[in-house]
Amino acid sequence: MILVFLARSCMVEVADIEQIAESVKRFTLVPVDAGTVLPFHPGAHVETCIGTRNVVLRRHYSLCSDADETRFYQIAVSKSKTSRGGSRYWHEQVIVGQRLEVSVPVNHLSLSRTARHHLFVAGGIGITPFISMMLALRRQGQSFELHMAAKSALACPFYDWLSGTFPGQVHFYFSTEGCRLTPNLLQDQLLGTHLYVCGPPGMMKEFRDCARAIGYPKQSVHMEAFTASQGGDNHPFRAFLEKQGRWVDVPGHQTLLAALREADVNVPSSCEVGGCGTCMVGVIDGDVDHRDFYLTGEEQAQGREILCCVSRAKKDRLVLDL
Amino acid sequence: MLSSRFPFPLSADIFQYSNNLRPLDTNVSIQVTHEYTEEVGLKRSLLKQHPERCFREEIHTRDAQWEVLNYVLHQLSQVYPEHFRLRQEGDNWIFENTLLGEEVHFRDLDNDSLSCAPLDFAGRQVQEDLILLTQYDDKLVLEAGQLCFPGNWSLYFDFGMPFMDIHTPVPGLIDDGLAAKIERFLMRVESGKPWTRLNWSLNAGRRLDTSAETFDEWGPYRYRVTEDNVGHLVHLRVEEQNLMRMPRSNSLLFTIHTYLMPLHEITQNQTWTNRLYRVLCTLSPKLVEYKGLSAYRDVVVEYLAKELRVNT
Amino acid sequence: MMRNRTAAGGGTRKDNLWAFLQCAHSLLFLCQDGQQESCSAVLQMASDLQIAVRTVTVEELKNELGSAKIGTRLYVCGDYQFVRGLENVLFSFGITNEELWSDVTGATVHPVLCAGCYHRNDPVAGSYIHCEMCGRMLEVSNHYSKKLDAVMGYIVLPEQLVFKSEEPQPSRTTPEGR
């Protein structure tokens, strides 16, 4: 097992492109220099990085090959009508032999180690992370089932492969056949069932809400956690330091932390990417545009604290406990 | 030539207990310093004399342990190619440690091809202590570890405990909220993005093995610090803790490298002396107690003040 | 003393119990003999919420768990040993904290593990003990291991007691700097 741990990414080459469903292509990526790719934890994704003529495209795709396969990675890309360039580029421009960079595999979704039964619910291309997860469960002899929605069998990625590989464990719902995937299937599951949902945001929310109402514990409901939106609109704002009784201007190109330091306010910091909580400051007034991943959703909603290394004011003003 | 290294832990004149993790930009989490032979020798003799204190494992972590072994050996051979070599011959891996004059043959994922557990083997090649946490739905649990140089804690006791329970709340210092936030942060650490933090204390005596088990051996020195011996007896103890996600098992690995420097060497550096002096002067009574400094903090402060006066 | 071991956030015991039962579709009820009186409030609340309650014995538990549906909640009441034994069974089955409410009757005192020789000393009330095996003086901490079902007894030096006479608490309740 050759490991390329020290590198955060590795160069791969597109070795094969297959149309596996209407609007879905599967790409097989083989390592260029290293003999093998890193094995990954089931449910992982990679960030792909392709330099085109104009821009560098960075996109996250779930790995849909076997987690133990180290000769290659596979990803499946659905051509989106609302593509920002990523899926269209993959579908129209990428050719066999092309080289790109992929990150070390990362897990935002993983199998529960204590579940008695695993219940997967996929909408269309949302099936991708579940493939490595189901293969791993089958190896471990664990109990699972998949419910998958698509427009039709032709539009359903991995339809033949899923039917052949997991007979009796997969159930399809094709809308053109008038068959709708509804949260009803969440009922009457055994105690100890864990639910995994991947699909369009509306579907994920519907299933999560229904599962909670039925009494699924919070930790038994797993969804791919999308990475928080980085950056976005960086408008300038002003921060009033309540204890010091003065204003600090925060220009659009500067973080609140940097602006405070420039104004000789000593705020301790550590990671400066919104992860450690060291630079947390109390908020007395004003709405916070939270961009950290340290505070809980509840704490963010209360808005009494701000991580000044990444988060900003929603409007033009914040009053800080400084 | 192996380097000397001492990561000075104080970045400000005031010390607060916080989650002071920052990204480990180099990705290098194993440090080989000129104390290598001495410290690895000490680790191995402690492991031999006190196996139950120094190594613990849940048997189901063996796959994760192999991942750590791969990680450690590859890192040694890539970062220190003049001292460590790793090569493959058929199904066999051959690891050469020229600092100790050893060569080991093993087969990947074959427990019988090693003389001990994979994590234990990896730990016997490095100065670092290695702690492995398994990720469950809602918690991280210490399920394997090799610990020879603890800062007054017990692997025997903490083995099998969730991260939150290991960090029992300390009134006025570590509340439940902070430990919970740190755990939540750790559960979201991604592979390929390691983190690092420095932890510090003072030690009365030059001793790396300050386990809770042997407190009655090393603790009494705290009460023997005098004006005359303080510069040589008292050491600044720094733990460089790196943590990283293992991409295959999804476990979290902590590497802990412990450094000791006597105060008379610290005082060779004016900035360090000044900073340590200021931090010790302003340390809250709770932290003084928590770090075990009550008995001799004043003697150290006095000594540092004198050194500062002499040098200005 | 009755202690709820399901941390369900702030609020009173009644509020928390209400919140716990509200998500329940049915309730598995396990009560140690002689403790039924302590459970009347819970049964009343379940009845108010029209939740089907099934009383099961320890022997029946494994079978019941095997066929129970998601949305089932479990209520356990008894002395510490009784509850701890059941919790081990339930957690190894994959039951989460959210699905379990435990009421412990009587006092909870844990054995004290000697940091020096690992001897398990019988539970005691008080802050200091002498290890029955090696004689070392130990400070009884609140550092508790579920796996060992013991609290850590940290070694205390004679010097510590003399030195800190104004506050006889070495208070090394957790490892230093961790």
ipTM rounded to 2 decimals: 0.92
Q: Find the distance separating the first CA and the last CA of chain B, reported in whole Å.
A: 35
Classify residue A230: in a domain, yes or no.
no
Task: Name the closest residue on chain B to residue C174, using Cα atoms.
Answer: B168
The CATH number linked to A94 is: 2.40.30.10
Q: How many domains does chain A have?
A: 3
Q: B274-310, pLDDT tens digit by residue?
A: 999 999 999 999 889 889 999 999 999 999 999 999 8
C115/C101 Cα distance (integer angstroms): 33
Which structure tokens are listed for B196? 């690092």
B8 touches chain C (CB under 8 A): no
B150/B211 Cα distance (integer angstroms): 5
Classify residue A202: in a domain, yes or no.
yes
Q: Find the distance separating the first CA and the last CA of chain A, reported in whole Å.
A: 53
Classify residue A109: in a domain, yes or no.
no
Q: Which of A219-223, B154-158, B203-207 has the lowest mean pLDDT?
A: A219-223
Q: Which of B231-245, C1-15, C88-102 has the lowest mean pLDDT?
A: C1-15
Place of tokens 């920052």: B22
Continuous segment of H or E residues that includes residue A102: strand A99-103
The CATH number linked to A296 is: 3.10.20.30
Which is catalytic among the residues B44, B62, B85, B197? B197
Q: What is the pLDDT of residue A2?
A: 47
Classify residue A170: in a domain, yes or no.
yes
Would you list the domain boundaries of chain C? 2-105, 112-163
pLDDT at C163 over 70: no
* Residues on chain A touching C25 (C-beta within 8 angstroms): 214-215
Q: C-contacting residues of B 144-203, CB under 8 Å? A: 150-154, 156-161, 165-168, 170, 174, 199-201
Banded pLDDT at C6 (limits 50, 70, 90): very low
What does the DSSP 8-state code read for residue A68? Answer: T
In terms of pLDDT, which residue wins out, B22 or A65? A65
Q: What is the pLDDT of residue A7?
A: 74
Same domain, A180 and A272: no
Domain boundary among A56, A71, A103: A103
Same domain, A219 and A241: no
pLDDT at A3 over 70: no
Banded pLDDT at C146 (limits 50, 70, 90): very high
Place of tokens 């730990």: B123
| Cβ neighbourhood burial of C20 (10 Å; 0-12, 13-18, 19+) | buried
Closest CA to A138 of A85, A229, A201, A67: A67
B197 is an active site residue: yes
Q: What is the pLDDT of residue C173?
A: 41
**Residue span of the structural domain in which A196 resides:** 117-223
Classify residue A228: in a domain, yes or no.
no
* Position B172, amino acid: G
pLDDT at A263 over 80: yes
Angle at which helices B270-282 and B297-311 pack, to 10 degrees? 140
Residues linked to residue B57 through DSSP beta bridges, in sequence order: B144
Continuous segment of H or E residues that includes residue B62: helix B62-79
Task: Name the closest residue on chain C to residue A116, using Cα atoms.
Answer: C94
Is the Cβ–Cβ distance between B174 and C143 less than 8 Å? no
* Position A172, amino acid: F
What does the DSSP 8-state code read for residue A189? Answer: P
Specify the 3-state DSSP secondary structure of B301: helix
Is the Cβ–Cβ distance between C99 and A217 less than 8 Å? yes
B168 touches chain A (CB under 8 A): no
Same domain, A141 and A217: yes
List CB contacts of B2: < 8 A, sequence separation 6 or more. B32, B33, B34, B36, B83, B99
Alpha helices in B170-228 (DSSP H): 176-187, 215-218
Same domain, A134 and A175: yes
Closest CA to A166 of A185, A147, A184, A183: A147
The nearest CA of chain B is from the CA of C158 a distance in Å of: 9
Task: Name the closest residue on chain A to residue C90, using Cα atoms.
Answer: A192
Domain boundary among A68, A103, A138: A103
Q: What is the pLDDT of residue A232?
A: 54
Query: Hey, are the CB atoms on C70 and A218 less than 8 Å from each other?
Result: no
Is the Cβ–Cβ distance between B243 and B252 less than 8 Å? yes
| Other beta carbons less than 10 A from residue C16's beta carbon | 17
Same domain, A33 and A127: no
Specify the 3-state DSSP secondary structure of B256: strand
**Per-residue pLDDT averaged across B103-121, rounded?**
96
B15 touches chain C (CB under 8 A): no
A108/A117 Cα distance (integer angstroms): 20
C56 touches chain A (CB under 8 A): no
| Cβ neighbourhood burial of C134 (10 Å; 0-12, 13-18, 19+) | middle
Query: Hey, are the CB atoms on C148 and B295 less than 8 Å from each other?
Result: no
| Topology, domain C2-105 | Rossmann fold (3.40.50)
Same domain, A258 and A205: no
* Position B304, amino acid: L
Domain boundary among A201, A223, A245: A223
For chain A, give the mean pLDDT: 90
B95/A80 Cα distance (integer angstroms): 49
Calculate the dihedral angle through the C-alpha atoms of A40, A45, A47, A53, rounding to the nearest 10 degrees.
110
A36/A70 Cα distance (integer angstroms): 5
Q: A17-42, pLDDT tens digit by residue?
A: 999 999 999 999 999 987 889 999 99
The CATH number linked to A165 is: 3.40.50.80
Pairing of strands C100-105, C72-79: parallel
Q: B60-79, pLDDT tens digit by residue?
A: 999 999 999 999 999 999 99
